[in-house]
């Protein structure tokens, strides 16, 4: 079976993908490679790190897929809005504000000046600013979480209003098209490249692709019989599209000669949607029974690691400058630079994993227990239709028809 029926919204392989994706993100952020080669083709690792741009879209697509399935399954239940927002807040806010509080304390320790713009981090609006905390603290990676939280303020309303699957799909595809147009025209908005890369209209379509996938998946899975056959074209699309898009990106890198143009017009307008489609394809393969991706991402060790990814994500880059500018040079006095860089990276990974485990044990698990106390109510019965007399007088409706 594709889904564990005891937990209808749980896909084991998606938990595993989180584990693999975080490791790739970590090695990318900590730049654990040799110096940039004269040609990117001379360094397989450097080539791979330039193709890991699809990691954030993977998280976005997974998020849209899983949460849309939850919303579709609960929109007829009592407390639809209240319980969703409450459970979401219990899941996201406690650990997030603990990390933000620790960052604020470290800013005081390093005598950094915190201004009004830093308050955007409290409201999940940090993707609209490039304000930094200081030399030894890096929270720039939190832009992706802010996009998710902004999106999920409004998406439940869309699912509540658009009861027809066809209407909801059309609305979803219209929003995706709008994001595409926004990226193509972004120079007209006089935006900096970083803002064009991290603002919500430029990146939310990856979440919307996950939402569309959830709608298609639910439609195919409505009947238990024949699901595997109906899913085969989707799995084939995922395999073919992933190979084709990867090949296209390799051509772009060959033309560039060094790396993917992440913060250029070509990168933002065309490579970003390509990465979104790769993320979509990988998620589709992860929920395909028997696929290589599903098998690899269902291993126990990576699933256990994947359960820590929220804490890993929040923490891993916060103290990265200390490892770059303090720990690595200190180790380099006693060993080659490359080895010092890798040792510092593994120390950072061990520290991050330990802190994430503590966060999971003492914050996330207690919050999960609290979250389970808030459950959706029974299905809401539709209001009875009031029948009105159809008899009318020559000069207008009767008093009965008017409800007098």
What is the tens place of the pLDDT at every residue in 249-293?
888 877 776 667 778 888 899 989 999 999 999 999 999 989 999
For residue 302, name the pLDDT band (cuts at 50, 70, 90): very high
Cα(294)–Cα(288) distance, rounded to whole angstroms?
A: 6
- Give the residue with greater pLDDT, 327 vs 3: 327
Task: Identify the pLDDT of residue 130.
Answer: 79
| Least confidently predicted of 5-9, 139-143, 156-160, 322-326 | 5-9
Find the DSSP H helices in 257-286.
265-266, 272-286
| Least confidently predicted of 126-140, 177-191, 340-354, 374-388 | 374-388
Per-residue pLDDT averaged across 295-305, rounded? 94
Task: Identify the pLDDT of residue 263.
Answer: 83
Per-residue pLDDT averaged across 370-399, rounded? 61
- How many angstroms from the chain centroid is the CA of residue 172? 17
pLDDT at 4 over 50: no
pLDDT at 375 over 80: yes
Task: Identify the pLDDT of residue 135.
Answer: 86
Please name the residues in contact with 35: beta carbons below 8 A apart, sequence gap of 6 or more.
none
Per-residue pLDDT averaged across 281-307, rounded? 94
What rounded mean pLDDT belongs to the chain? 86
For residue 183, name the pLDDT band (cuts at 50, 70, 90): very high
Per-residue pLDDT averaged across 293-297, rounded? 94
pTM above 0.75, yes or no: yes
Every domain of the chain and the residues it spans: 12-397
Structure tokens at 73: 């399954």
CA angle (316 as vertex; 313, 321 as ends), nearest 5: 145
For residue 382, name the pLDDT band (cuts at 50, 70, 90): low
Task: Identify the pLDDT of residue 391.
Answer: 41
- 33-85 pLDDT, tens digit per residue, is 445 555 555 566 666 677 778 889 999 999 999 999 999 999 999 999 999 99
The sign of the torsion formed by the CA atoms of 263, 273, 20, 257 equals negative
- How many angstroms from the chain centroid is the CA of residue 99? 19
Cα(318)–Cα(360) distance, rounded to whole angstroms?
A: 18
Per-residue pLDDT averaged across 21-42, rounded? 70
């Amino acid at each position: 079976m594709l889904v564990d029926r005891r937990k209808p919204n749980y896909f084991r392989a998606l938990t595993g993908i989180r584990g693999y994706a975080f490791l790739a993100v970590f090695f990318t952020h900590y730049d654990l490679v040799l110096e940039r080669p004269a040609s990117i083709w001379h360094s397989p690792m450097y080539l791979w790190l330039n193709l890991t741009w699809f990691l954030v879209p993977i998280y976005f697509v997974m998020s849209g897929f899983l949460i849309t399935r939850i919303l579709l399954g609960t929109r007829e239940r009592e407390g639809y809005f209240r319980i969703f927002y409450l459970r979401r807040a219990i899941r996201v806010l406690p650990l997030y504000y603990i990390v933000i509080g620790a960052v604020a304390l470290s800013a005081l320790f390093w005598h950094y000046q915190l201004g009004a713009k830093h308050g955007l981090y409290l409201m999940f609006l940090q993707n609209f600013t490039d304000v930094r905390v200081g030399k030894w603290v890096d929270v720039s990676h939190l832009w992706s979480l802010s996009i998710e939280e902004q999106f999920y303020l409004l998406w439940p309303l869309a699912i509540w209003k658009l009861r027809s699957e066809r209407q909801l799909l059309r609305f979803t595809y219209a929003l995706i098209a709008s994001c595409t147009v926004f990226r193509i025209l972004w120079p007209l908005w006089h935006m900096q490249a970083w803002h064009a890369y991290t603002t919500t209209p430029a990146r939310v379509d990856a979440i919307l692709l996950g939402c569309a996938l959830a709608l298609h998946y639910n439609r195919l899975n409505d009947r238990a019989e024949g699901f595997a056959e109906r899913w085969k074209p989707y799995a084939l699309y995922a395999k073919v599209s992933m190979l084709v898009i990867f090949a296209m990106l390799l051509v772009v890198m060959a033309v560039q000669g060094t790396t993917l143009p992440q913060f250029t017009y070509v990168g933002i307008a065309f490579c970003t949607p390509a990465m979104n489609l790769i993320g979509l394809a990988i998620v589709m393969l992860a929920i395909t029974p028997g696929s290589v991706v599903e098998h690899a991402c269902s291993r126990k060790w990576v699933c256990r690691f994947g359960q820590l990814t929220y804490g890993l994500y929040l923490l891993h880059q916060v103290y990265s400058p200390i490892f770059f500018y303090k720990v690595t040079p200190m180790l380099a006095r006693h060993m080659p630079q490359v080895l010092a860089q890798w040792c510092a990276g593994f120390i950072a990974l061990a520290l991050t994993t330990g802190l994430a485990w503590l966060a999971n044990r003492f914050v996330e698990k207690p919050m999960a227990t609290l979250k389970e106390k808030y459950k959706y109510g029974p299905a809401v019965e539709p209001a009875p239709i009031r029948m009105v007399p159809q008899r009318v007088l020559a000069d207008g409706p009767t008093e009965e028809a008017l409800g007098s």
